[in-house]
Amino acid sequence: MHDDGAALKDGVALRDAPRQRGLVGLLLASVFAVATCGLIYELLAGTIASYLLGDSVTQFSTIIGTYLFAMGVGSWCSRYVRGGEMALFIRIELLIALLGGFSAAGLFALFPQVEQFRVILYLLVFAIGGLVGLEIPLLMRILRDRFAFAETVSNVLTFDYVGSLVASILFPLLLVPHLGLVRTGMMFGLINAAIAVGLLLAIRRERPMPGELATAFAVIAALLAGFVLADRIQRWSEVGVYGEPVIYATSTPYQRIVLTRHNDDLRLYLNGNLQFSSRDEYRYHEALVQPAMGRVADPVNVLILGGGDGLAAREVFRYPSVRKVTLVDLDPAMTRLFTLTGPLAELNRHSLSDPRMHVVNADAFRWVRETDERYDVVIVDFPDPVDFSVGKLYTESFYRMLRNHLAPGAMAVVQSTSPLVARRSFWTIAATLEAAGFETRSYHVYVPSFGEWGYTLAALRPIPPAANLLTGNRFLSADTEEHLFDFPPDMARRQETPNRLDNQLLVRLFAEEWAPYEN
């Protein structure tokens, strides 16, 4: 029966036209919010998995696939909903606000605590994807009585796709650099909860839901507290990951930078991977720089690729003949940190602010392709090839471009991971350099923080057997350098296939060899 011609749909009276227009606007905003928040949670999971597990291509591919599959499952399950769509939608929004809002904080906290972290990761992604997939059909049902069918589908899909675009742009450009991962999750959880509150208030006359309204405000209070305490939450979780007091941490568009200190030991981690320990980094950097520099007579112009901490540059500036150093590092936050922070600048002896230093924040692959300058020494100090974005810097294509930047008689050196733990990866790098036309000599050094670590000298001429080393080194001498080129049987040369841009076999090989050593 009808009362004065007014109809009830989902407990909402249709006779109040202005209020109904407001409700319709709120529902369309909900479509936008569902798409935006859902994609943000997906990107958060992929980013955190890349930080903690490595290989960003694999992590994002599997997480996106899991999320989309879960959306399909959620959409399929919507067929079993028989009435009460608005109430169910509101409850789902609150559940997504909790799961998605606390997803980043929870994943960081659980990583050091549980062995089956991947299981929890994918269950969380599946749960959020399934709930988002259930919401879209519910919204279409709720809106079908406000619009014609074709218009309903058009409106829902339009707001859904626009929301996805907004999320994909905001996430790398604004959210991660300025809010960080934990606070980003909390903020979008608040958006989900705010949508639920708005709908609860819009329908309160026709269908009061006091329990859900109280729950919504409790969720908002929890998310606000999490937003305010986000830095403490992430620092606490990272102490569990690193086992050391975290003194600095930030997320940039390119990586997670964490500094820890325990007594006099200062350590840098990028995406969870140790880059140096101040107690023994001198071993690594003397061995990286001096065998190449010492095989060139009076090097003047030096190129450093990577090495944004300035520690390789510190060793380079010890050579009195050096007049210019160009350092190319992708992340300006990294070079700025090691230029302006007192203890870090002291560690690298203010090398990044030396008047002879020219810092370039750019993608090394593109920069090497576009520049035409030649150098007496090229020091390649990239992170290990844990994913394809870094792996491209270990390919034959990159090394062929690098050849064009070697002056006559020049020498290059490439950090080449551990010849003991990742023996095949180590010799793959040498094989790739040789395929690009270089003469090579490989060597290794023991660095207590890393274990056995390896490097590859590369030149367009036969490599001299000995180097003119600096005096005053803490580790490297003529005697110790001679033994660095000797490889015992468990690290001896293997014949490997060069790493090419179209296959990136080094990334997969590296992951396989290091997998048994993961926490």
Q: Residue 501 is which amino acid?
A: L
Per the CB < 8 A criterion, the answer to whether 396 and 435 are in contact is yes
Name all contacts of 337-341 with Cβ < 8 Å and 24+ positions apart: 337/248, 337/257, 338/308, 338/309, 338/310, 339/310, 341/248
> Pairing mode, if any, of strands 265-270 and 256-262?
antiparallel
b/e string for 139-175 if b means 16 or more Cβ within 10 A?
Answer: bbbbbbebbeeeebeebbeebbeebbeebeebbeeeb
Per the CB < 8 A criterion, the answer to whether 48 and 104 are in contact is yes
Whose CA is closest to 206, among 2, 20, 1, 10? 10
Which two tokens mark 300? Answer: 């003047």
Per the CB < 8 A criterion, the answer to whether 182 and 234 are in contact is yes
Whose CA is closest to 493, among 390, 385, 416, 380? 416
DSSP conformational letter for 404:
T
CA distance 326 to 299: 13
> Pairing mode, if any, of strands 265-270 and 324-328?
unpaired
Cα angle 276, 281, 287 (rounded to 5 degrees) comes to 120
Cα angle 361, 366, 372 (rounded to 5 degrees) comes to 95
Q: What is the 3-state secondary structure (H, E, C) of 416-467?
A: CCCCCCCHHHHHHHHHHHHHCCCEEEEEEEEECCCEEEEEEEEECCCCCCCC
Q: Residue 54 is which amino acid?
A: G
- Beta bridge partner(s), residue 266: 261
CA distance 146 to 71: 25
H-state helical runs in 54-116: 56-77, 85-101, 103-110
Catalytic residues: 381
